[in-house]
Structure formats: structure tokens, C-alpha cells
Structure 1
Amino acid sequence: MTDTSSVRLNIDEPRWDQNTFMGRMKHFMSITDMRTVLCSTSELENAKKLVNSYRLGQEPLGTTEEQLWRAKQLYESSFHPDSGELQNVIGRMSFQVPGGMAITGCMMQFYRTNTAVIFWQWINQSFNALVNYTNRNAESDMTPKRIAIAYVTATTSAVLTAIGLKNVLAKRASPLMQRFVPFAAVAAANCVNIPLMRQSEIEDGIMCADENRNKAVQSQVAAAKGITLVLASRIFMAAPGMLLCPIMMERLEKTRWMQRIKLLHAPIQVMMVGCILVVMVPTACSLFPQWNSISTETLKKWEPKKYSDLQDKYHDNMPSTIYFNKGL
């Protein structure tokens, strides 16, 4: 470990190269590490204090590089990147594995009755709404009314999809196919929930910057791309656990030893989902660069007024690419 008094780190940038998939993977494995949810509030506040003091060049004498990286990990996994406020535990991305494994495992285990389907889809969408709200863009206009509409609409779409598919498949499909109903419902709900939660970005656009991170222009095209990428990554995150576990459980439940421990079927399925999510959460977050981009030619085609604003601002130094934070 080196003394940071002689080597200054760029504490505002990720530790690993974000232009490569493996670099992004390492970054998100750090941020989504579920062990960070066990840290006390005082430990998290101390991490924030160290990060902020280092930015000002006022860190305690003898602070090591590893201490700084640890503080940065705790800070980025627990505090909102825009407002700097401490996030609620359940809504943090680092809670995706324990929260997701419990809810997803139960959704796939208790799917045989309409009551169970409705209850677990409601629990899942409540969890998703809290995650979306906790990780919202601080500049987005997420009013209580807009949040309520997104929540009710997503929950309703998930329940209707699940119940509709369940009733159809109950008559025509094998028991194995019926196990895939929760995934179809989750995918349908995501297609509703995420765009609605970020509706203000679609309407007003999101701020894009040039290569030097200087604010350039607000773009609806960038917002649409960001939401599409987040939607794809969320479905990708859920797919392996919700598609592989039903096949595995269908085969395991036919064995003699599994038939003797029926009370443990749900815990076993929850643990199976958890093992998959440990890998899939950081993998899905790493699929696309967080600092994403669109070409100004795309802007010229779809938002000529915004392109004209860029020309007025940059003149002969018109950037060929503008960048934006796609969200999670």
C-alpha cells in the first residue's frame, strides 16, 4: 500500500477501465457487493467523509490507497451519486442479490394459485419501485403522482400477465412451462415500470456532455437509448435465474430425496437464484458503458433543433459524439 500524500488518485473515476467489459465488471462487482449492506451508518458516513476530504486534499496523514478505494466502494454503494444522500438499504443496488433472490425464488416456487401469483408479483413490483426511486436521477421530475402511476401500472401489468398466462398454460402446457410464467410477468412489468419511472427524461430529454464532461444539450434520443439499455440489462439480469431454476427444480422435485423435504423446496430455490444473481447483477450492469454516447449525426436526424443548438454553441468545434449517464 502506498501513502496517498505523494500519489493523487482520481477519486471521482472508477478504479478500473470502463471502456472494457472486464473493467466494468470489476467496478460493478465492487458497487453491488452485498456485504456492504451490513456496514453501519457510522462506517458509511466515515467513508463519505474520507472521500470528500480527499477531494479537497485534506485527508488524514498516512491515508493509504487501499483505505481510499474501500471508502470509495462504500460511498458509491450506499450514497446517491447526484445528491450525496444516504440511500435506504432495500433500494441500494448492493441489496439486489439478497432482495432479488428471496422474492424471485418465492415467485417461482409459489405459482400454482392465483392468490400466490398476485401476492408475489405485488411484492416484486413494490421492491422494483423502491429500487427505481432510490436510484433515480436527482434532476428527474419524479413527483409522487408519477411514482404512484408507474407503480400501479407496473404491478397491474405484471399481475395480469401472470394470471393470464397461468390460466392459459394450465389447460394447454406442461407443468414445466407453467414455471416460466413469473419470468414473462417480470419482463412485461419491466417494459412498463422503467419507462414510466423515467417518463420525464423521455419528455424533456437528459443532459448530454462533450468529451470534457461539459454540459452540451438535453436530448430525448439519448434518454430513449439510456432507458432501452437499462431495460435490456434488467431483463438480462433476471433471465438466467428465472429460466434455469425452473428446469432444475422440475427435475429435482421428481427425485425421492427431494420429495421427502418438501418444506425445503422454497429455501433451496431461493439459494439457487441467489447463486446466479451474485454473478448476474454485476454482469448485467456491465453490459453497456455507464457513460454512454450518441453521435451528433443521430441528433441531427432525430432532433434537428437540438443539433442546431449544438452548432450555435460549438461552431467550428462541433463534437462528433456526445455522452450521457444511462442510469441503472
Structure 2
Amino acid sequence: MDVNLLYWKSHGQSLFSRLKIWLDLLDPSSLGASDAEIQKARTFLGSGETVGRKDEYEWNITLSSIHADSGSVLPLVFRPPAFLPITVPLVVGSFLPHRSIKSALFWQFLLQSYTAGFNHANRNSSSEQGQAAKANKLLLIAGTVSYTTCAGALPQIIVSRLGLTSLSIQNFFRFLVPIPLSAALAFFNVITVRGEESESGIQVFDSNGNPVGVSKAAAKKAVMETAWSRAALFGTTVAVPNLLVSVLERTRLFQRNTLLVAPIRHLSVALVFGLMIPLSFSLFPQLGMIRKENVEKELQAKAAEGWLFYHRGL
């Protein structure tokens, strides 16, 4: 089992401990570490020489920069610390009440493209199947981005194409419909981009960290957990600011100063999104657990204890 997974096994089994870890890992300052520095930290931690030494920095850059399956350094823009600074402007831009379909499609394309790339880079890659699978994966990602881009801009398309002039109906499509829609698209993005894992399975480990085989049941559980966490992230990010603005618009202050609505909405989206990222990443363990009765029969005999472990991905 990879040293990153061993760390999550011993430190990240409770929600509070995972949240505390992610608050440290999401520090953008760790993006300044070079590939050589990251690999040096990984080698240091893997040598078992960390007892009694202050190795928080080494753990932070290793956990946030190294893929736990391949052992390779993640692309800079798809590392967890880069998620917040890159996605905040994309999320704010995507959730604006756009005046044209083109602008809605543009912002949705940027957001869906990045999230698809992030989901793919941080997947479980323990059972990759060569170049042919990579080509199919690229086509699948392109299809996912195309579909989610059009679906994400659907409220604006409906308002513009149907020529809806009623303010209440416009608010329904622009502020209420995006709540379940954003959660559903985030869920769908993970499910489709990481769909190959459910078909081919992922590596599972016993309690001692020894690999015991490949499980499709564990893969489905890992993908579903990640999909639900991403749906919670984007659904909450849309719901809370829209609810806040709807309440504030009824106050005298905002009725007299309507120009305050837009900046309040933008700031609240950025704030809620920033707060939800570590929480959504912490909802499920990075090193997940599945009962041996729920995996394939050929793996049940290899599990000495009642649980098997798997890398969930992110």
C-alpha cells in the first residue's frame, strides 16, 4: 500500500480528522514545491525515518501532490491546493444570470472542462488498461464536457429561446432550477469520467496493506462516494447564496440599493464554495472500507478480517 494511503489509514478515519488534514493540504503555498522537492519528500517519508522528526511539510506536499496509485506527481493545475483558486472565478462566472446563451455556454464550458480534468487526474488508476483505454477515456471526457456544458446552460437557453418576460418565471429558471441541476451535473461528471473504474475494478487491500485483488464492487462504492461529495459541493454552493440573496432582496436596504445584490451574490458564492471544498473532500475517507461480504467471492477468502480497503480517489 502506498505511503499516502497508509497515512490516511492511520490519520483519516473520522470526519473531523479528515477535515483538519484537508484544511492543511488545501494551502495554495504548497503549489510552489518543485517536482524534485516533492519526490524527495516522498522518498524521505517512505524510508521510515520520520519518527520524532517534524515532517508536516513533507506530508503536506506529498499528500497534495502525489497520486496514491501511480506514485507520479499530479499536474500542477489538478492538485487539490489549486482547486479553490482556479474554480472560484469559474463557479462565480457560471452562476451569474447571463444575458446571452453564448456567455452561459462559455462559462459552463470552462467549469465543466476543469472539473472533468480534475476528476480524471485524481481518479483511482490502479487498474489502467493501456493506450486503447486512454483513447476511449479522452472521447468519454469530451462527451461529458459537451453534455454538461449544454445542460448547465439550459436555464439560460430556456429563458432566451422561449422569450420569457415574467420576472417570477425568470427567477425560477435562473435561481431555483440551477440548485438541483448543478448538483446533478457534478454527480454525472464524476460518474462518467470515472466510469471505467466501475467496469474494470480497483485494487483492494487487507488490513495489513497487502493487495488482495481487483474489485468492481469497491470501485462502484468509491466512484459513488466521490460523486455524492461533489454533488454536495456544487449543490450547496448554488443553494445557500441564492437563498441568502432572496432573503436580502426583501429588506429595505437592498430594495433601495439594488446594485448591492450582485456583489453580495458573488462574494457569497465564493465564500460558500471555499468553505465547502474541505468539507466535501472530507465527507468520505480517502482510504475507504468495504465489508468482505460485499466484494467478489474470490476476494472474500483472501480477506483475513471483515473489511477490505480501497483508494477512493478525489
TM-score range, shorter chain: 0.7 to 0.9
The gaps in structure 1 that reach 5 residues or longer are 1-9, 300-305
TM-score (norm: length of structure 1): 0.78
- The reply on whether 1:65 has 2:59 as its aligned counterpart is no
1:254-265 aligned within 5 A: 254-259=254-259, 265=262
Cα shift at 1:242:
0.9
Cα shift at 1:57:
5.7
Aligned counterpart, 1:159: 150
Checking the alignment, whether the CA contact within 8 Å between 1:237 and 1:284 is kept in structure 2 is: yes
Aligned counterpart, 1:126: 113
SS in 2 for 1:109: coil
Rate the CA distance shift 1:16–1:238 in 2: closer, same or farther, 3 A.
Answer: farther
Q: Distance in 2 between matches of 1:223 and 1:16?
A: 22
Aligned counterpart, 2:286: 290
Percent identity, aligned pairs only, is: 20
- The reply on whether 1:23 has 2:17 as its aligned counterpart is yes
Aligned counterpart, 2:242: 246
1:264-294 CA distances to partner (integer Å, 9 max, x unpaired)? x36x544322222232111111111222122
Q: Distance in 1 between matches of 2:41 and 2:191?
A: 36
Aligned counterpart, 2:206: 210
Instruction: Report the residue type matching 1:72 in the other structure.
Output: W
Checking the alignment, whether the CA contact within 8 Å between 1:78 and 1:87 is kept in structure 2 is: yes
**TM superposition outliers: structure 1 runs of 4+ over 6 Å:** none
Cα root mean square deviation, aligned: 3.1
Pairing partner for 1:273 from 269, 273, 282: 269
Aligned counterpart, 1:34: 28
Cα shift at 1:33:
2.2
Rate the CA distance shift 1:164–1:280 in 2: closer, same or farther, 3 A.
Answer: closer
Pairing partner for 2:103 from 97, 107, 116: 116
Q: Distance in 2 between matches of 1:153 and 1:216?
A: 33
Q: Distance in 2 between matches of 1:98 and 1:121?
A: 17
Which is higher, the Rg of structure 1 or of structure 2? 1
Rate the CA distance shift 1:214–1:79 in 2: closer, same or farther, 3 A.
Answer: closer
Rate the CA distance shift 1:294–1:87 in 2: closer, same or farther, 3 A.
Answer: closer
- The reply on whether 1:307 has 2:294 as its aligned counterpart is no
Aligned counterpart, 1:145: 136
- The reply on whether 1:327 has 2:313 as its aligned counterpart is yes
Checking the alignment, whether the CA contact within 8 Å between 1:296 and 1:320 is kept in structure 2 is: yes
The gaps in structure 2 that reach 5 residues or longer are none
Q: Distance in 2 between matches of 1:16 and 1:310?
A: 23
- With 196-205 and 243-252 compared, the bigger mean Cα shift is at 243-252
Q: Distance in 2 between matches of 1:310 and 1:247?
A: 48
Aligned counterpart, 2:94: 107
Matched residue count? 298
Instruction: Report the residue type matching 2:297 in the other structure.
Output: Y
Q: Distance in 2 between matches of 1:210 and 1:40?
A: 33
TM-score (norm: length of structure 2): 0.81
Aligned counterpart, 1:94: 81
Aligned counterpart, 2:41: 50
Rate the CA distance shift 1:273–1:14 in 2: closer, same or farther, 3 A.
Answer: same
